[in-house]
Structure 1
């Protein structure tokens, strides 16, 4: 979309995609209808956004309060937090996604949502929320996409084996895991089947993965059926915080420190998974589990909100605070 096709009422947004934008508000009242446009086009047809993608985006929000006036919304800039947003296209409203589908990674979109009606403002206030003044302006920078069925690039340098399961994957199909006979290893095993070329995954980051998992122990038919897999959900990538207890310990320890772009074979003992027994597992698979995990991406999480220090009550004159500053007299041990 060239500048000739942009709505003239849109704010002017400048700066490189991937850096905090600079915004100039038109010298008019905020419009009473939704308007939107792509103000910067990314390059590359091989990175077009699809309707079922998981997007990595930097998002900034402003309030357009009057002619030529507006301000950034505090705490609503991923450029300030250093943590991009993960956007599941299938879960977003159409007024957001319609503009993004078939856009290239590296594009920048701008949305203007009209001021709240009096009824909407009253509903917000009744819910204990402050009703914002003016129109809301949203800027979305498309930084990366992870599509359905995405896998890491490259060829496996090993398929496992040597007492561990073997893994075969053809193209973008679900990996096939063959578990050997015999006892499972007692300790966590991590084998990079493909070693990625990206940065090392850090504790506390958001990771995006494809994975499949089977139990080490065979069922009554001698099979090792898949108990959980992104492929069973259509190949939609899974995202979670790693290294912080959001997933099983075997994932936290096995994935942190590995490189983005890696395919990992994880053999996780029961005490690092859901438990050794069915009673411990409480419906989840018990015992040693085998996973194949493609680490598609790793991104920082926003820092936790700072807690305001509790206010100390002033001590009364001659009170406890003053007394505590004096050394206590020792009682004599002699009678």
Structure 2
């Protein structure tokens, strides 16, 4: 109950539960347990939503008091069955929140529409409460869902006030438009037109498997090297966007066995896509400079010299991988970020770095 009260005061992506790990199952091997093709008839108490999916929704509130129970339903189904949302997907969605205050009355909640900001939410389905995720799972990209959360209880209102928030009057209504989805083991389409080489590492990747990186003998390049292995056909990645990637990283320098094992890889986490802000210091400099300007759908070989990776201070303090690093990065998607919130008066600004390699290291850096 209290999770609901807190969740409605922030974007949908902050509604988080404990993440469970999943195995790496190639996308084409997955078969949904069932398809909600026609579904049950929508509850007549649900608000009507006008406008096409992909456009700012307009909500028409029923001429009744806001219900005292949660309601939800899919009001528009996506056009196809091939791109169905799975329970462990990373979903890109536009989300708009409304306030249902009385019979036939309601209004948008200011600042709670990704259509206004132009920046969709990135939703990890495993982190969503069941009442959110169950409606979206097995629905196609392009679907629109509506959720109604009943008015806050007195206890929830008191909790909101204690947190310095103004309690919302009436029921909360969420409209969620599914823009895209990225599954476990997602990779960019197309065949490699290059495997690297010519003094750079070579890369072999078959299907949805983890890429195999062969590092040549000899000294590492002293400058950042960017080699597209698959050239994407999407838009160029812009500085400050949210990017969604699969990646694997190895050190140029071999270990004591003469091998180059990966020090970090999305594949060791079941092929769950990684998302981060690019070009803004959230990741290492080699990623910021190597990925910005590349096209979505590209597979990139990045050779990052040590001074554009973690540097000596971070290597010593945090145990980050030392020296020149080699990454293979699939750029799955890129989406705008919302504009930065204006800092409260008297608040100090700060920025940490988020390493693409070690999640625990990233959290320590951010602190």
In structure 2, stretches of 5+ residues that fail to align are 1-36, 347-367
Question: Where does residue 63 of structure 1 map in the other structure?
Answer: 99
Query: How many Å separate the matches in 1 of 2:39 and 2:87?
Result: 25
Q: Secondary structure of the residue that 2:82 maps to in structure 1?
A: helix
- State whether structure 2 residue 128 is matched by structure 1 residue 82: no
- Say if 1:3 and 1:39, in contact at 8 Å, map to a contact too: no
2:219 aligns with one of 176, 183, 189: 183
**Length-normalised TM-score, structure 2:** 0.82
Q: Which residue of 1 aligns with 2:365?
A: none
Contact (CA 8 Å) 2:241, 2:336: kept in 1 or not? yes
Matched length: 310
* 8 Å Cα contact 2:114-2:121 kept in structure 1: yes
Q: Please name the residue that 1:251 is paired with.
A: 287
Quick check: 1:21 aligned with 2:54?
Answer: no
- What's the secondary structure of 1:45's corresponding residue? coil
Correspondence 1:1-335 to 2 at 5 A: 5-276=41-312, 280=316, 282-306=318-342
Cα distance, 1:278 vs. partner? Answer: 7.7
Rg larger in 1 or in 2? Answer: 1
How far apart are 1:305 and its partner, in Å? 2.6
Question: For residues 266 and 112 of structure 1, do their structure 2 counterparts lie closer, same or farther at Cα, with a shift above 3 Å needed?
Answer: same
- Give unpaired runs (5+ residues) of structure 1: 311-335
- Structure 1 stretch displaced more, 122-131 or 147-156: 122-131
Normalised TM-score (structure 1):
0.90
> Displacement, 1:122?
1.1
CA offset digits 1:226-247 (Å, max 9, x no partner): 0000000000000000000000
Alignment CA distance shift 1:99-1:243 (3 Å): same
RMSD: 1.7
What's the CA shift string for 1:56-107, capped at 9, x where partnerless?
0000000100000001101000000000000000000000000101000000
For 2:326 and 2:174, the matched residues in 1 are separated by: 43
1:126 Cα offset (Å) = 1.7
Per the alignment, do residues 216 and 278 of structure 1 end up closer, same or farther by CA in structure 2, a change over 3 Å counting?
A: farther
Structure 2 CA distance for aligned equivalents of residues 301 and 172 of structure 1:
28
Distance in 2, matches of 1:226 and 1:115, equals 50
Whether contact under 8 Å (2:315, 2:321) holds in the other structure is no
* Pair 2,215 (structure 1): closer, same or farther in 2 beyond 3 Å: same
CA–CA distance in 2 between the matches of 1:190 and 1:89? 33
Q: Alpha carbons of 1:160 and 1:51: their partners in 2 closer, same or farther (altered >3 Å)? A: same
Q: Are the counterparts in 2 of residues 149 and 235 from structure 1 also a CA contact under 8 Å?
A: yes
Q: How much has 1:120 moved relative to structure 2?
A: 1.1
Q: Secondary structure at the match of 1:47?
A: coil
Whether the 8 Å contact between 2:263 and 2:321 is mirrored in structure 1 is yes
